[in-house]
Structure 1
């Protein structure tokens, strides 16, 4: 196949990916909804091939579950699932953040500050706001913090509960005030680490996760 022939298929796949991701995150395609290739192709005005490619990529992002002989469905989490996820994160992630204060170098702190600044830029309200880019930067920020904790057991435990679709949906569910709080928390965590104050950093992480929990499922 020539490169010229590949481009339309690539554009169709990207369009299908963007449209389906938006439909899932907006709730237009509800959690647990069955995703039939034929129906989606008709909905998007595309062939089944780009739709199939988009579903595979959405499965890699955790937004879609592919089931043998049953097709695909939108990933779903019950309120109890979400409470359980946040319970574990609140028990472990502030501790990991506090530990990072003892290990972060000046270069580490500069890298975290750069991520916090970039999140403020892409998360600012307006036509240039990019929540998908924000999700990626947020993932990198939290991963760097966890790496600085130098605690493999904590990292392994958190890997089982930090679900990309939950984080992605959280950012898309934030109202402007909640999003502003979340972005400010990142900057304050860096400030606490620069001060070498693990207790302060851990306390801010607890507030950060509490803010996300309140948006997604409210308090217990």
Structure 2
């Protein structure tokens, strides 16, 4: 059946009224996914007009989407130039992941001596949920696995019960970098990450702080490696 002319025409949103939020959401998702998939690599400039044409919305919702992505830390707004995708240098990566390995391994060690049975149940359930996302046979939806991963690591911080240590970790862990790390993971990388999570839970169950700490350190260092080791399936 032939399509009507109206159905074939681009559905532009003028950025006014109730449709503006939906248009901004659509632009936000499109640009965010493009950044994480390296369609726009670190340092790339994004211009409102080009993005409006790509997403089929007006510049007003694109501008709102760029503001949200800037708040997320995925890009920075540059006067008269539009937006620029954030980049991390090798030194940035070494510093961030080095601090994470030190701090998060300490958290895991503390958590091993303080975890209660209900904590272990929740950690196990989070492992189940992440493995279900990875193993569903489809392309991995990182928007689903990232909050689960965040909750897993956040729960370990809560169990450890060291408020200052938790604050330091949250300052070091840059969520945009976590998102980029996941986006670079191969199936093999994801499987290793899931195995690390399981082993950390086993170490907590055994109340073995050294075991938990060593696995967490390896877990974080493996995340650093995806930025330098060639990606394989």
What TM-score results when the alignment is normalised by the length of structure 2? 0.85
Specify the alignment match of 1:13 in structure 2: 24
C-alpha RMSD of the superposition: 1.9
Gaps of 5+ in 2: 1-15
Q: CA deviation at 1:180?
A: 0.4
Specify the alignment match of 2:176 in structure 1: 165
Given the alignment, which residue of 60, 66, 76 partners 1:65? Answer: 76
CA distance in 2, matches of 1:52, 1:140: 31
What TM-score results when the alignment is normalised by the length of structure 1? 0.89
Q: CA deviation at 1:146?
A: 1.2
CA distance in 1, matches of 2:65, 2:194: 30
**Is contact 2:43–2:85 with CA below 8 Å preserved after alignment?**
yes
Given the alignment, which residue of 191, 195, 205 partners 1:180? Answer: 191
Specify the alignment match of 1:127 in structure 2: 138
CA distance in 2, matches of 1:146, 1:19: 33
**Is contact 1:122–1:128 with CA below 8 Å preserved after alignment?**
no
What number of residue pairs does the alignment pair up? 214
Single out whichever of 153-162 and 76-85 deviates more from structure 2.
153-162
Specify the alignment match of 2:105 in structure 1: 94
The CA deviation string for residues 136-155 of structure 1, in whole angstroms up to 9 with x for no partner, is 11111111111211222222
What secondary structure does 1:66 align onto? Answer: strand
The CA deviation string for residues 45-88 of structure 1, in whole angstroms up to 9 with x for no partner, is 21012212221222232212234665422111111111111111
Q: Indicate the structure (1 or 2) with the bigger Cα radius of gyration.
A: 2
Mapping for residues 178-217 of structure 1, pairs under 5 Å: 178-217=189-228
Single out whichever of 66-75 and 76-85 deviates more from structure 2.
66-75
